[in-house]
């Protein structure tokens, strides 16, 4: 599975989201890789992603990407990321 972490600039907050998503993947026992992207490159990067994680503001900008978009309120809340990601990948 490929997970795409998207933030506005693809630098600071996406790295934070990536780190916490990798922890969530371990806790969920998933076989997945996490990549980061900024809002400008996210659409192209999502073509090979299974799930996109981002904020509500950026989710609205991204629109329909053809894959599930998981909206995360706090990029530092590992429990939120784990719970929302788990719900998205298990149906």
Q: Please identify which of the residues 4, 5, 6, 7 carries the catalytic annotation.
A: 7
How many whole angstroms separate alpha carbon 76 and alpha carbon 19?
Answer: 9
Is the CB of residue 36 less than 8 Å from the CB of residue 10? yes
> Is the distance from CB of 1 to CB of 51 less than 8 angstroms?
yes
Separation of alpha carbons 48 and 79, rounded Å:
26
In whole angstroms, what is the distance from residue 37 CA to residue 78 CA? 20
Quick check: is 14 catalytic? no
Catalytic positions, please?
7
């Amino acid at each position: 599975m490929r997970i795409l972490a998207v933030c506005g600039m693809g630098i600071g907050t996406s790295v934070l989201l990536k780190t916490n998503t990798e922890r969530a993947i371990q806790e969920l026992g998933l076989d997945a890789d996490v990549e980061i992207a900024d809002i400008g490159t996210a659409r192209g990067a999502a073509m090979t992603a299974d799930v996109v994680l981002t904020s509500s503001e950026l989710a609205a900008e991204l629109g329909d990407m053809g894959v599930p978009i998981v909206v995360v309120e706090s990029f530092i809340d590992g429990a939120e990321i784990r719970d929302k990601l788990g719900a998205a990948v298990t149906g």
